[in-house]
Copies of this chain bind each other. A is one copy, B any other.
């Protein structure tokens, strides 16, 4: 049977239940409440991911780790989110890249397990470092190049373009100043 999805990845409820909770929760609440919560929280992060231009699978993984009370292995993640090996691997790599998750050792388990970074501040900071900064930098280079082009214009037209480039550079610097400030204001 091929996987299907709609507004949040459907999880394999039975196996999730037994895997994640030492079996004790299997009959503790109405059948699917936990799964419903996990799914909804997952969706929160999927939306957030889309908002900042990250693939949904990445948001999905982070969401699951965020609501999980214990570290999960890649295989557990893969199974519960019903996603392919490749996606899981790449998603985890990306999340590690901007320090949204950490690898922890679970005694007795061989493979690495993952937990969500509990500090949103660090999460946002990592994201900015990894995804925003490079753009700002390449933008700076481009502006330099444009300045050189402007210098080649006939003098009476230079003023106009120079003003534009100045503005752009000002905006650019504003971003440079503001982003770290923004991060420092996140207190979670």
Binding site for B on A (CB under 8 A): 25, 28-30, 33-34, 36-37, 40-41, 43-44, 47-48, 51-53, 66-67, 69, 120, 132, 135, 138-139, 142-143, 145-146, 149-150, 152-154, 157, 160-161, 164-165, 167-168, 170-171, 174, 178, 181-182, 185-188
Q: Which of B30, B174, B188 contacts A174 (CB 8 A)?
A: B188
A142 to B36, CA, bound (A): 12
A151's nearest neighbour on chain B, judged by CB, is B33
A167 to chain B, nearest CB (A): 6
Top 9 nearest A-B pairs (CB, nearest first) are: A40-B146, A37-B149, A53-B53, A28-B154, A120-B171, A29-B154, A33-B152, A51-B135, A170-B188
| Beyond known contacts A40-B146, A182-B182: 18 more, CB 8 A cutoff | A25-B157, A28-B154, A29-B152, A30-B152, A33-B152, A34-B153, A37-B149, A41-B165, A44-B143, A44-B146, A44-B168, A48-B135, A52-B53, A120-B171, A171-B186, A171-B188, A174-B187, A178-B185
Check B53 against A51 for contact (C-beta < 8 Å). Answer: yes
